[in-house]
Structure 1
Amino acid sequence: MRATLRWAHSDLRSHRGEALFLVLVSGGIVASLLLATALFGYATNPWQRVFTQAHGAHVWIHSGRSSDASKLARLDGVESVAGPYPTESVTVTSRGTRASVELRGTLRPPSVGRPLLTAGHWLDPSDPAGVVLESRLARALLAEPGDTLIIPGTARSLTVVGIADSAEPRYSPGEQPGLVWALPSALRSADGQVTGLRLTDPEDTDYAVQRAVTVLGAGAISEVSTWQQARAEAQGENRLLGQVLGLFGLGALVAAGCAVHGAIGTRVRGHLRDISVLKAIGFTPGQVVRVFLLQHVAYALLGAALAAALTQGLGGRIPGRLGDAVGVWQGLPGHTVALLAVPVAAVLFIAATTGLAAWRAGRVPPVPVPRPAASAGGRLTGVARAALGLRLPPALVLGWRQAFTRRARSLATVVRLALPLLLIVVAMSAWTTIDRFHSRPADIGLAAALTVRPDAGLDDTATRALLAGNPRIAAAYPGVEVAALVPGQTATIALRGLGTRQDPYPYALAEGRRAHGPDEAVAGQGLLDLLDVRVGDWVRMTVGDQPQILHIVGRSIEPENAGRVISTSLDTLRENDPRLHPTLYQLRLRPGADPHQVADELSRAAHGHLDVHPVANPADGLSPLRGVVLALIAVLALIGITELLTAIGGTVREGERDLLALKAIGLSPRQITGITVTAMVCTALAAVCVATALGIPLAHWLIDAQGRSSGIGAGLAQEPSPVLLVPFGAVAVLGAGALAALPASRAARRRLADTLSAVA
């Protein structure tokens, strides 16, 4: 054991930098995997906790006032029912912020879908104007218990008495109205009712919706929301961040394992004589393997322990969503198990790759095998001799030959170095795609910057005149958006009519063509997947009791409503229902116009009769991804540096046998140093080319796969520009040369006696 420890200590002193990098790499990988685990728990658990504690409904059905919703309680598979509750759609304002809300009349907290109070108290019959706000709506309105909500255009006001969490779909400006619980007497003109169904089998949601539509009639149902939709919406960008961290963490773990495997293999080749001596003095093959295995497992354990300790102690202090995720995750039941399992799994993987490489050390014979007199590379190739004949610098020609003479070994080095570089290219593609969301929102389906909804006090003519009078508005597209039942009547989708045939809305198309003729429409990926249709198919849907048949001629990039949107012109919808009038306007602003400033101007000019809010950009919730990408690039760079150090050490050691011959033919120490530097530059250049050639298609595939799974659809990926790729390649190549310069220079200036002993 003492001899083993002395050998490990000696090796550590000889490779301090490599050991430090391995510890840092292991720590970075484990930290990224732990943060990914925290984000997954943060994305799923809060909603699940609220759903469980609230005894949430699996289906919420909005229907007309005249429908007999009490029949739903008698459906097969329905365990319990919430409601029916009368509802009224209104707009409220608080502290200058407007929001569309649904007032839900109820006397006492329901047993199904029960709101979980986080502040204030429940409704009190002695305060008929008191209301309880859903927590996300309260944050959007900056409202607290005691605040007053104004209903514009009326003399009505509501007093906030409580704030509660709910497992129902949360408030989203322009997409989902906020939920407000009120006493039935607070509803002046109820325009519908809502019923919640809790099922005995949550997976029978589609069947339950079909039965509900059959019982009430398709014309009676205006909207259906399910627990799966609410869960997916609640998880949001947190799950995406977790997926990105987990994907890159696993990729970095594989890259680190390959780097460790290469480092041990190179070290075994460089210490064949020492290993033979160890065996000659009594070391068994198992003991030799354990020397390398325990040494690198110790590095991995140290890095993993540091990562786990830092994540546990300081993870909650990370600013933004990552810190919140770690704080919530630390309070979950499976936190301790994950905190132990993730580092242990990473260390076991590194141990497996280490053992595979160290096994070669155990096979070294106890009697040293004499090294061949000739270089393993053989003679100069015809190309190399021709290059020397053209008076190219010998360092350049011999360096290129040294890099690629041993094809199997050179290929393995290039592959190991290319793997972290490939992941960096993928990370840069993710960064560039996020920048595209911000800089060119029209390319990802966000041509409009503002959405305007007039209230009853402003007719269509006055609204158009008001919008036309603002010089910062480039175009205003009238439209209407309604909920429609899909074929099979298992879910609702958004049917949108925007623009006219003379002035069509500029949808961002990823497939097909624009909708020009009658009954033509474009659809999001989420809708195509939901209905299992493709571009070119006809689809039938129901709006109230009105059927609507549309021909899908294109696939649009649709970031709203999980892509479950079908869009046509307002003219097409009005041909089927002449009573339809614009209920909203999508505004495209002139370059340089500030959306918030334009929104303030319109609100003041309309004297509070316009609900104006910016169009939500999905990239706004992905801002933490930038910091994640930078941290991952740093970890991958450490892995690349570790692999470079290994390759440099192997190249210098292999070049020792040629040192005497190179000096004999008259090469100076500077030229000999240039050979090693050139070899490493050529290796790094080959790895950069491989990483770029494979990384860009891989990034496109991964980003498009994520887009399809989220319903937005493929076509989002943006490859890094040459402005990023060229410096990236230059830094990798020049960095390889700079790292190789010092050890190569030391080797070139070794004494002849030392060189003779090295090749003996």
Structure 2
Amino acid sequence: MTAILAGVSRRRLTAVVVALVVLASGTASVLGLGLLAASDAPFDHAFAQQSGAHAVAAFDPSKVPATGLAMRGASGPFPQATVRPTIDGFRLSPMTVVGRADPLGPVDKVSVDEGRWVRGPGEIVLNREFAGPRLAGATLTVDGRPLRVVGVAYSVSRTADAWVSPQDLPHPQSLQMLYRFAQAATEDQVRAGMIAVTRGLPTGALIGSRSYLSVRLSANGAIAPIVPFLVAFAVLGVVMSVLIVVNVVSGSVVAGYFRIGMLKSLGFTPGQVVAAHVVQVLLPAALGVTLGALLGNLLSVPLLEDAAQVYGTGALTVAPWIDVVVPAGLLTLVALAALVPALRAGRLSAIEAITTGRAPRAEHGRAAQRLLGGLRLPRAVTLGLARPFARPARAATMLAAVLFGATTITFALGLGSSLYLIEDALLHDRSAPLEVAMMRGPDAVPYDGSLLKTIKDQPGTAHVVGIDRRDVTIPGLSGSLPMTVFDGDVSWTGRQLISGRWFRTPDEVVVPTGLLNSMALSVGDSTALEQDGARRTVHIVGEIFETDDAGLQVFALDPAATATRYEVALTPGTDLETYRNTLQTALQGRPIDVSLNDENGRRLFSILLGMISTLTVLLAVVAGLGVFNAVVLDTRERVHDLGVLKAIGMEPRQTIAMVIAGVAGLGLLAGLVALPAGLALHRWILPVMAAAAGTGLPPGDLDVYTWDRLTILAASGLTIAILGALIPATWAARTHPAPALRTE
């Protein structure tokens, strides 16, 4: 043990390098596995964590009293009503409000995301899906009573749009009960559970019930497009961590061959030598993995919060098993990575170990040095370019680490660019950033057509299109479908076509992929539409990129349509907030809402883009640390050679050039290989995400790699390698010849 501690003390820099790389790898592994675990059935995990309701039932309070519903193992009864709140005189969408004094309980533990729970009458907590930026801290009016928004909460069972104090619902329309059953894996089992809990109640007491399985299906469908890219980042992070640990740890043992030879010459047995060097690596690795797990958990907090927002689940945390598996796995990996070269060194004689520790075998790199020496390049550069051939195994693992880092950057840039285009296609928030809608408030007046003139006369207006929404049916498809009708050109709104063209006449329509697949139709086919008892034939001229309502929609042209809302584009240079405020002033006193187009949807895409940026930076830093640590070990291993080169006249700038050249070739090669790899990953992941959402993709959303971007991305591997090697190269340049020549 004395020899082990002495070795750690003597090789402090190596110990720091090992601890640092294991720390970075531990952090990346915790984050990667944390995302993988969070992406595995997030609804099911949140449902179990919050004791979600297998069935949500509504009962008629006139036929069964609250005391007749309360039962052990269930939550409720809670007073419930459907209301239409108003804000500043404008009526909002209908919401289901439940009177609940406590967010906890045996069933459906509601998690409070922001603010607090209601403490008494006059307060309301909004469901995360209903709350928007305009409602935070606002005062809503419900049936003439003001209710101040004090919090935002989330129910995995989707039991309400908002919660108030029970005193605020003295005359509820229904009583809500939340049940959990011992068997609830199928609809039949949930139905059997409901029959059991309602047995003996008066006829007609049960107004209706809903199974959690429908909520589960909707939730899983919503997150399906997001999971593939998070899994891709997670796998890249874990694989990169493994490569870097193996590279650095095995390199640190090889760098200690000289000391191994010295120990053997002093009488240490091969077993003692192997044990000493494995433990010398494990000690700093244990410190690094502990700190890495801690840092990974800290960094996971904002990342998993974002994932929870994207997935629409409750709070996500790093699974406890990850904090056990990552440290244990990395320490095992470190031990194995150190054991293999240590066993090889243990079989060497003392003289062979000392010789190997001084320099690599002559046959490794000599041919490359002679070949590169013939090039018309500075000698320092050719020496550096030949260095990877002296340690081919180390060079291969460093190449792989930089390759994964550069691939991540290439993939992330393409994914971010595609999501930027997809956001505008689905939200229209950049092409048509403003929406003007007729609100149905208490003082609503009939639409008189003057609204369009007011918008067009507003300075800064570039384009306006009126929109109306109607219900239609298609023979052969059950239920009604929403049909969005425009009164003019929509090509400027940002909506994208997957194939075909936009409608030009009222008998032409464009439809999403979901409707085409459901009806086994294609662009160019015709179908019948029924509206208000009248049937007409329309021609499908385009396939639109749209995911709302599972893609079961129709988009059409009707120049004579009475618009209920308008989408507005502004001229270049027009300030959005100034335009909005001016238009609101011009419309003051009228029941019209001027709002930013889909503020909530933009927030979701912002979270996704933020997650991509965070993960990309993290993995690029891990790749750079891999280069940094490998170069530190390499320069320490060659410190005697560096002393000789400095003694014969090598200048500091030449030393820096030599060290950087040693990784530049690998970085350039990694960048060139990463380019097609990243493009292929992007071309694979995006269609998988689209297919999970039940849609195709517009070709333009995939073709995001321009030639200037490709040129920059080709240098990403070189950039990672140079930045990773720059600091140790500077350290090597500052080394004085005399101390270097006396070093092992």
TM over 0.5: yes
Identity between Structure 1 and Structure 2 (%): 21
Match of 2:723 among 730, 735, 754: 735
> Which stretch shows the higher mean deviation, 177-186 or 157-166?
177-186
CA distance 1:229–1:289, change in 2 (3 Å): farther
Task: Give, in whole Å, the separation in 1 of the partners of 2:397 and 2:303.
Answer: 41
Shift of residue 651, structure 1, vs aligned partner: 6.4
Matched with 2:498 is 511
Task: Give, in whole Å, the separation in 2 of the partners of 1:733 and 1:478.
Answer: 54
Q: Does 1:641 align with 2:634?
A: no
Aligned residue identity for 1:584: R
The 3-state SS of whatever aligns with 1:511 is strand
Q: Does 1:474 align with 2:470?
A: no
Task: Give, in whole Å, the separation in 2 of the partners of 1:622 and 1:416.
Answer: 30
- Superposed, which structure 2 residues align to 1:551-562 within 5 Å? 553-558=541-546, 560=548
Aligned residue identity for 1:416: A
Task: Give, in whole Å, the separation in 1 of the partners of 2:179 and 2:725.
Answer: 67
Task: Give, in whole Å, the separation in 2 of the partners of 1:352 and 1:281.
Answer: 30
Unmatched runs of 5 consecutive residues or more in structure 1: 60-81, 107-112, 123-129, 151-155, 172-176, 188-193, 209-223, 575-579
Shift of residue 269, structure 1, vs aligned partner: 3.3
Shift of residue 160, structure 1, vs aligned partner: 4.3
Q: Does 1:7 align with 2:19?
A: no
Cα deviation, 1:31-75, whole Å, max 9, x if unaligned, reads 53586489669974897379956664499xxxxxxxxxxxxxxxx
CA distance 1:168–1:7, change in 2 (3 Å): closer
Matched with 1:341 is 321
Contact 2:15 2:284 in 1 (8 A): no
Matched with 1:94 is 87
- Superposed, which structure 2 residues align to 1:486-565 within 5 Å? 495-500=482-487, 506-509=493-496, 511-516=498-503, 520-524=508-512, 553-558=541-546, 560=548, 564=551
- Superposed, which structure 2 residues align to 1:117-132 within 5 Å? 118-119=117-118
Shift of residue 585, structure 1, vs aligned partner: 2.5
The 3-state SS of whatever aligns with 1:262 is helix
Shift of residue 466, structure 1, vs aligned partner: 3.3
Matched with 2:568 is 587
Shift of residue 637, structure 1, vs aligned partner: 1.4
Task: Give, in whole Å, the separation in 1 of the partners of 2:154 and 2:739.
Answer: 77
Shift of residue 102, structure 1, vs aligned partner: 5.1
Shift of residue 261, structure 1, vs aligned partner: 0.8
Aligned residue identity for 1:702: I
Matched with 2:236 is 251
> Which stretch shows the higher mean deviation, 684-693 or 532-541?
532-541
CA distance 1:249–1:168, change in 2 (3 Å): closer
Match of 2:453 among 465, 478, 490: 465
Task: Give, in whole Å, the separation in 2 of the partners of 1:689 and 1:748.
Answer: 37
Match of 1:350 among 327, 330, 340: 330
- TM-score when normalising by structure 2: 0.69
- Superposed, which structure 2 residues align to 1:409-488 within 5 Å? 410-429=395-414, 441=424, 445-446=428-429, 447-454=431-438, 455=440, 457-459=445-447, 461-482=449-470
Task: Give, in whole Å, the separation in 2 of the partners of 1:275 and 1:560.
Answer: 67
Unmatched runs of 5 consecutive residues or more in structure 2: 59-76, 100-106, 111-115, 192-208
Q: Does 1:621 align with 2:604?
A: yes
CA distance 1:267–1:435, change in 2 (3 Å): same
Cα deviation, 1:720-751, whole Å, max 9, x if unaligned, reads 97497589567535435533534544679368
Shift of residue 360, structure 1, vs aligned partner: 3.1
Matched with 1:73 is none
Contact 1:476 1:587 in 2 (8 A): yes
Q: Does 1:571 align with 2:558?
A: yes
Task: Give, in whole Å, the separation in 2 of the partners of 1:493 and 1:286.
Answer: 78
CA distance 1:444–1:349, change in 2 (3 Å): farther
Aligned residue identity for 2:246: H
- Superposed, which structure 2 residues align to 1:139-288 within 5 Å? 142=135, 149=141, 157=144, 159-160=146-147, 204=187, 230=215, 247-276=232-261, 278=263
Shift of residue 423, structure 1, vs aligned partner: 2.6
- TM-score when normalising by structure 1: 0.67
Matched with 1:127 is none
Shift of residue 650, structure 1, vs aligned partner: 3.0
Shift of residue 18, structure 1, vs aligned partner: 1.0
Aligned residue identity for 2:3: A
Shift of residue 486, structure 1, vs aligned partner: 8.2
CA distance 1:186–1:554, change in 2 (3 Å): same
Matched with 1:695 is 678
Aligned residues: 673
Shift of residue 495, structure 1, vs aligned partner: 3.0
